[in-house]
Chain A
Amino acid sequence: MGFGQFLAAPEIKLKVVTYRDVFQNTAQETSRFGEEYENSSAVIKLDQKDIAKLAIKDGETVIVKNSFGKVVVAARKSDYEESHAGIAYMVNSPWSNSLVPDETGGTGVPKFKDFEVTVQGAKGEKATGISEIF
């Protein structure tokens, strides 16, 4: 056990934009309770600069939270996307929906593609399972 265990992991504020992914969507068609759906859903895509700020490695888990919820998901470095420091991408799923605010201004439409979270390294904690979300 190293000294690092006792240090608080750095925490950053990010804006989340949700998106669709055909592989995750396919897994959803087969089973919403399957491992493939979980692995392709419990993910947050981060810019390289934000990964560096969090002092984590690509693929490690992070805690993503706000006043509406908290999930542990795998952090992945974005690939073909242009640099997007300060903005994170999450695939549309029960994991992202755990964090979408219920505020609508009475319009009936939540801000699915524009909400704020804080992200922090999860120090090896496992990603939240579908049965733990609710």
Chain B
Amino acid sequence: MSEYYVCTGCALLCDDIEVETENSKVKTVHAACRKGVARMKGCSDHLECTIDGEKTDVDSAIAKAAEILRNADKPLIFGHGNSSSQAQKMSIGLAKKIGAYLDDTSSFCQGPVIEAILQDKLKTCTLDDIRHKADVIMFWGADPSNSHPRHLSRYSYFPRGKERQRGWEEDRTAICVDVRKSETAVICGDNRFYQIPVGGDAEFMDALVSALSSKVPKTSFGFDAKRILELANVLKKAKFGVICVGLGLIYSLEDLNPLFRLMDKLNEVSDFNLMPMVGQYNMRGFNQNLYEETGYINRVKFNSETGVAEHGPEFSVVEALRNKTVDAALIIGSDPLSSLPLSVSRYLAEIPLITIDPCRNLTSSKAKVTIPCALGGVESGGTAVRMDGVEVELKKILETENLPDAEILRKIMEAI
């Protein structure tokens, strides 16, 4: 029997991947999407171990990183989306020890929805439930054809699940609500694509709640009421519905109340679950690990003496960098200089910066200390949490000289 590995290209954590290796490299990857294949084959720009741009050994880099964090008054530890759960727990311990600001990517993406799920404010299900039961699937502000390429083929639309033996042709209806006709919208078809204006999501949700309550739906942008009523009918008849929530929706809402209202109404008249379309492979793991430790999913600052965490937007990576409140940063499994507005992330280049990553990126190019780590799911094992909250074990495929991310953090903590 073949051995299957887990792809860490996104938070689907596909666990049916076969690989062929040659000369200590992944030569061929079977079953993964193109992004997953690229992830598992590894980057061409490997990160080197450096201090001030000069090559060094890992022990010296770890000692320097420890010195930077020890001397900082308000250090920031950020990243964690591409880190194992073991590394994330080490990060939490390190932040506690040095009284650091601690945050992750969810702070400016799926955070509010994950928080609501962990607090049981939103009904959710697993990807396997979707595969076996879902008959009405809404992609709202989400384009999995690009962000999670196997979402539709493995779970949400094309497969023949236990209770959906006729697959997409007869047993499933896919619906897309978006400001742009995405490739996922094309798959859903023109009849099942609802194009709304930028920022129109909350209003469209409330119009849908009206339609589900047998009232005439109205929007200020004049969306065809008949189409909204028709959509409400499809949703009402769902046996097992799911809304896959993407960043398009989250960025559009000032708060989650319109989403709560819609989910409440849908569960009055039908049965609906919510799936957060988490991007990085272990972002949800970080949220769950920090939640277990502190009751917060992100945006905390620890008191080094009491170990108590304070929480609030002022401790978010964006506000901490914007307001220049931190004086050193450790970035692990992330590239904020690529993913944050430059007007915010520019400050990272002004403070002592440490990067831990398998690959060179924009952030590492501005770092005082760079420490290469093993690539999760390929060069090191550990565990991670899928977008639906299911824990998945990562398997090591190749040997490497680079230490796993958790081991680097453990050594930094020891050296402080």
A interface residues, Cβ below 8 angstroms from B: 15, 17, 19-23, 25-27, 29-34, 68-69, 80-82, 84, 87, 89, 92-94, 97-98, 100-102, 104, 106-114, 130, 133-134
Contacts and interface: CB of A to CB of B under 8 A. Distances in A.
A116 B145 CA distance: 27
A70 to B, nearest CB: 11
Interface SS of chain B = helix
A97 B341 contact: yes
Contacts of A29: 9, 35, 38-39, 43
B251 A114 contact: yes
A33 B45 contact: yes
Lowest 8 A-B CB distances belong to which pairs?
A: A108-B316, A29-B38, A100-B341, A102-B343, A108-B313, A22-B146, A20-B146, A20-B147
Given A69-B342, A106-B319, A32 B247 contact: no
B338 A32 contact: yes
B152 interface: no
Nearest to A106: B313
Interface SS of chain A = loop
Contacts of A34: 44-45
Nearest to B313: A108
Interface size grouping (class) on chain B? 35 or more
25 contacts: A22-B145, A22-B147, A25-B147, A26-B35, A29-B43, A32-B335, A68-B341, A69-B343, A80-B183, A82-B195, A87-B179, A87-B198, A97-B339, A98-B342, A100-B341, A102-B344, A104-B319, A109-B107, A110-B344, A112-B108, A113-B198, A130-B362, A134-B337, A134-B349, A134-B365
Interface in B260-276: none
A19 B145 CA distance: 12
